[in-house]
């Protein structure tokens, strides 16, 4: 009798053990399923379409690298790639410098934790509002009758409105800085806030100058934040076609824009091949950066 | 004021000035379109103001022109709510899974990062072509929903991981020692502690979906969401109703943010009373507030 109950007990504990053992898999499964259906499968479909045959009008199943070869043998597409790289580099440098100064100010110049968080939130709040609205809000600012031009004419720097402010690469970069600097500020704020203030005090006591503290303590310790910020900036800039559409008036070619144009014209294999190339370049770049820093440790 | 700053030096003042200019740069354009939305009926997209009226707001709410933003707004709102709920549930579950650890957790983590950096049009294009091949019509609540989740879930999961990385396991051990079942532990220990974080995830889930354009653009079908319609309005119509709808939707987003922070604030205050009673430090509260970002 007592043996039987024992058996029963061990049975139920076995079941609960199995449940315990696999509950993590059960808990992770919705995430895995959603990402599989809506991220992995679409990428697979794009890979498939990128090797389909396209005769200028119709897409037929098949296997050819024509779309890829065309991409690398056409100047216009390589030029688009170069434009994307150039816009990224300019945006990256500006957001990095700006993000670094802002985070430094928030972490080291402000004392109260509440004030730090409040000022930090001030830079975050626009992120929770519409990106499309933030982009369109540059139109009255940069246009030929816009605020910036009126201002420049009024103070006499220029005689006629400057045309290149709006519908240009300039407008696109301004909008990127406007929208994406936050993505540099947040990770830098996070890593800088973790720097032990005693370390800086100790360096000061040993007679380190402000520049030396920056050069040998703050910058090296901020490296993970810089890398995570860079990953965000490259992913956001390289893949954006909204700002390009609204603010460059198709003046500025970019790889992402050329994909959307190809798609709307029904050139699916071309659009697919270009997306794959962009994704591959992005993964190479981000993969390289992730070797430098373990993102999971930064959580 | 003095307690806000370190001893002010010239470099500090320069940094403060840069921060101030950045904040002006950040909010200036939004405030500008807020003003321009009050253009008179004859007014254009830029200054000068031709009169001062509520004409364009009326055009948004009771339109007589081509662009009717009301239904798209409703779709965006409903979709935002759905994405928010799903994101909270899935992220919370995934967070629990990561706490326990599972085989392939690294691979899933890279999948999450990949989903975060994947080109939006690639996701959108892939889902669109997938639906076309299945001879289904993609719409905002099917393909659009999936596309939005690939964008909101990475934020949700990363926030959840950040929260659990700061989670003190001894609290849970104490609960176990006092005889709590695993369900009780989840319901009465883990859940209340991570609740502010879940609200933050909800805020991200809702706003990321509500404002999303690129991932939606190729899968929304005939019935567009608000951002998609606003982008086509920028291309087709040069009228201030765009600013009016932009201003309204920004105010709406700000209300959502205030609501989310209000709830978190109330929860933190309740916890404050509780932790004061049990004598735990406020240090913990700081950590949770931090982990929200």
Residue-range domains of chain A with CATH: 74-298 (1.10.3720.10)
In this predicted structure, the answer to whether residue A252 has a pLDDT above a threshold of 70 is: no
Q: Establish if B293 touches chain A: CB-CB under 8 angstroms.
A: yes
pLDDT-based confidence at residue B287 (cuts at 50, 70, 90): very low
Nearest to A133 among B111, B126, B250 (CB): B250
In this predicted structure, the answer to whether residue B288 has a pLDDT above a threshold of 50 is: no
pLDDT-based confidence at residue B260 (cuts at 50, 70, 90): very high
Binding-face residues of A in 144-203 toward B, CB within 8 A:
145-147, 150, 178, 181, 186, 189-190, 193
| pLDDT attached to residue B284 | 41
**Mean pLDDT score, A215-221:** 90
In this predicted structure, the answer to whether residue A113 has a pLDDT above a threshold of 90 is: no
Between these two residues, A4 and B192, which has the higher pLDDT value? B192
A180 touches A232 (CB < 8 A): yes
Alpha carbons A228 and A218: distance in angstroms, whole number: 16
Express as a percent the part of chain B with pLDDT over 70. Answer: 87
Spell out which residues of chain B touch residue A133, defining contact as CB-CB under 8 Å.
30, 33, 230, 246, 249-250
Q: Where are the alpha helices (DSSP H) in chain B?
A: 10-36, 55-61, 70-100, 105-117, 120-133, 143-165, 169-177, 182-184, 191-210, 214-217, 226-236, 241-278, 283-291
| pLDDT attached to residue B87 | 97
State the DSSP code for B49.
Answer: P
Alpha carbons B290 and B288: distance in angstroms, whole number: 5
Chain A's closest residue to B160, CA to CA, is A299
| pLDDT attached to residue B189 | 86
Between these two residues, A276 and A11, which has the higher pLDDT value? A276
| pLDDT attached to residue A234 | 94
Is the Cβ pair B153, A34 closer than 8 Å?
A: yes
| pLDDT attached to residue B1 | 42
In this predicted structure, the answer to whether residue B290 has a pLDDT above a threshold of 70 is: no
Express each pLDDT in A161-211 by its tens digit.
Answer: 877 788 888 889 999 999 999 999 999 998 998 888 888 889 888 888 888
Nearest to A112 among B3, B11, B116 (CB): B3
Express each pLDDT in B201-255 by its tens digit.
Answer: 999 999 999 988 888 887 877 788 888 888 888 777 667 788 888 889 999 999 9
Q: From start to end of chain A, where are the E strands?
A: 53-54, 59-60
Between these two residues, A114 and B65, which has the higher pLDDT value? A114
| pLDDT attached to residue A142 | 83
User: What angle is formed at CA B142 by the lines to CA B137 and CA B144, rounded to 5 degrees?
Assistant: 100
Is the Cβ pair A28, B102 closer than 8 Å?
A: yes
| Min distance A259 CA to chain B CA atoms (Å) | 8
Topology of domain B70-291 in CATH is MetI-like fold (1.10.3720)
Between these two residues, B61 and A89, which has the higher pLDDT value? A89
| Min distance B238 CA to chain A CA atoms (Å) | 10
Q: Establish if B127 touches chain A: CB-CB under 8 angstroms.
A: yes
| pLDDT attached to residue B209 | 93
Alpha carbons B228 and A185: distance in angstroms, whole number: 28
Max mean pLDDT among A33-47, A102-116, A192-206 falls in A33-47
Is the Cβ pair B19, A101 closer than 8 Å?
A: yes
Spell out which residues of chain B touch residue A296, defining contact as CB-CB under 8 Å.
109, 161
**Mean pLDDT score, B3-26:** 82
pTM of the model: 0.86
Alpha carbons B216 and A145: distance in angstroms, whole number: 33
Spell out which residues of chain B touch residue A239, defining contact as CB-CB under 8 Å.
117-122, 214
Question: Residue A130 contacts by C-beta under 8 Å, 6 or more apart in sequence?
Answer: B210, B211, B227, B230, B246, B249, B250, B253
pLDDT-based confidence at residue B109 (cuts at 50, 70, 90): very high
Pairs of residues, one from chain A and one from chain B, whose beta carbons lie less than 8 Å apart: 280
| Interface mutation vs chain A, best among B9, B103, B121, B205, most A CBs within 10 Å | B121
Alpha carbons A204 and A198: distance in angstroms, whole number: 10
Question: Which range, of B39-43, B128-132, B197-201, averages the lowest pLDDT?
Answer: B39-43
pLDDT-based confidence at residue B89 (cuts at 50, 70, 90): very high
In this predicted structure, the answer to whether residue A51 has a pLDDT above a threshold of 80 is: yes
| pLDDT attached to residue A110 | 86
Alpha carbons A297 and A225: distance in angstroms, whole number: 12
Is the Cβ pair B97, A115 closer than 8 Å?
A: no
| pLDDT attached to residue B202 | 94
B120 touches B214 (CB < 8 A): yes
Average pLDDT, chain A: 85
The predicted complex's ipTM stands at 0.86
Is the Cβ pair A30, B90 closer than 8 Å?
A: yes
| pLDDT attached to residue B274 | 54
Q: Establish if B12 touches chain A: CB-CB under 8 angstroms.
A: yes
Q: Establish if B74 touches chain A: CB-CB under 8 angstroms.
A: no
| Interface mutation vs chain B, best among A137, A264, A279, most B CBs within 10 Å | A137
| Sign of the C-alpha dihedral computed for residues B214, B75, A140 and A128 taken in this order | negative
Q: Establish if A239 touches chain B: CB-CB under 8 angstroms.
A: yes
């Amino acid at each position: 009798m007592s043996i039987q109950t024992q058996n029963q007990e061990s049975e139920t504990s076995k079941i609960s053990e199995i449940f315990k053992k696999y509950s993590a898999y059960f808990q992770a499964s919705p995430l895995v399923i959603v990402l599989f259906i809506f991220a992995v499968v679409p990428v697979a479909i794009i890979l498939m379409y990128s090797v389909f045959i396209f005769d200028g009008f119709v897409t037929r199943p098949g296997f050819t690298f024509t779309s890829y070869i065309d991409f690398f043998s056409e100047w216009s597409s390589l030029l688009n790639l170069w434009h994307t790289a150039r816009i990224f580099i300019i945006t990256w440098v500006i957001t990095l410098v700006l993000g670094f100064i802002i985070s430094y100010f928030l972490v080291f110049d402000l004392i109260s934790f509440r004030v730090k968080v409040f000022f930090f939130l001030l830079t975050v709040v626009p992120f929770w509002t519409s990106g499309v609205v933030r982009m369109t809000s540059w139109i009255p600012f940069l246009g030929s009758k816009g605020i910036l031009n009126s201002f420049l004419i009024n103070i006499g720097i220029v005689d006629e409105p400057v045309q290149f402010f709006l519908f240009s690469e300039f407008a696109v970069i301004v909008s990127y800085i406007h929208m994406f600097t936050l993505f540099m500020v947040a990770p830098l704020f996070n890593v800088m806030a973790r720097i032990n203030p005693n370390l800086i005090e100790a360096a000061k006591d040993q007679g380190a100058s402000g520049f030396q503290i920056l050069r040998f303590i703050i910058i090296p310790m901020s490296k993970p934040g810089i890398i995570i910020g860079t990953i965000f900036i490259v992913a956001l800039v390289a893949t954006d076609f909204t700002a390009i559409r609204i603010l460059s008036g198709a003046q500025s070619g970019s790889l992402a824009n050329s994909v959307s144009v190809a798609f709307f014209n029904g050139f699916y294999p071309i659009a697919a091949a270009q997306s794959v190339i962009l994704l591959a370049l992005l993964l190479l770049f981000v993969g390289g950066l992730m070797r430098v820093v373990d993102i999971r440790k930064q959580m | 004021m003095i307690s806000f700053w370190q001893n002010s030096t010239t470099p500090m003042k320069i940094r403060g000035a840069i921060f101030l200019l950045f904040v002006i740069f950040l909010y200036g354009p939004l405030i500008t379109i807020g003003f321009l939305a009050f253009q008179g009926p004859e007014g254009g997209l830029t200054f000068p103001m031709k009169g001062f009226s509520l004409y364009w707001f009326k055009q948004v709410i009771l339109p007589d022109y081509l662009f009717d933003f009301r239904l798209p707004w409703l779709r965006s709102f409903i979709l935002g709510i759905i994405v928010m709920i799903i994101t909270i549930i899935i992220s919370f579950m995934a967070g629990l899974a990561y706490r326990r650890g599972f085989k392939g957790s690294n691979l899933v983590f890279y999948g999450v990062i990949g989903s975060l950096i994947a080109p939006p049009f690639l996701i959108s294009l892939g889902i669109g072509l997938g639906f076309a091949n299945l001879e289904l019509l993609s719409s905002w609540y099917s393909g659009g929903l999936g596309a939005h989740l690939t964008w909101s879930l990475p934020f949700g999961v990363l926030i959840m991981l950040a929260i659990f990385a700061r989670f003190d396991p001894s609290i849970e051990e104490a609960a176990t020692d006092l005889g709590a079942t695993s369900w009780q532990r989840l319901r009465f220990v883990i859940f209340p502690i991570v609740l502010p974080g879940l609200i933050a995830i909800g805020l991200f889930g809702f706003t990321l979906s509500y404002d999303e354009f690129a991932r939606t653009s190729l899968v929304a079908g005939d019935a567009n969401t608000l951002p998609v319609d606003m982008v086509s309005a920028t291309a087709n119509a040069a009228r201030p109703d765009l600013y009016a709808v932009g201003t309204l939707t920004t105010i709406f987003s700000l209300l959502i943010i205030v609501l989310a922070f209000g709830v978190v604030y109330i929860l933190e205050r309740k916890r404050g009373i509780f932790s004061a009673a049990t004598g735990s430090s406020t240090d913990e509260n700081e950590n949770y507030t931090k982990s929200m970002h």
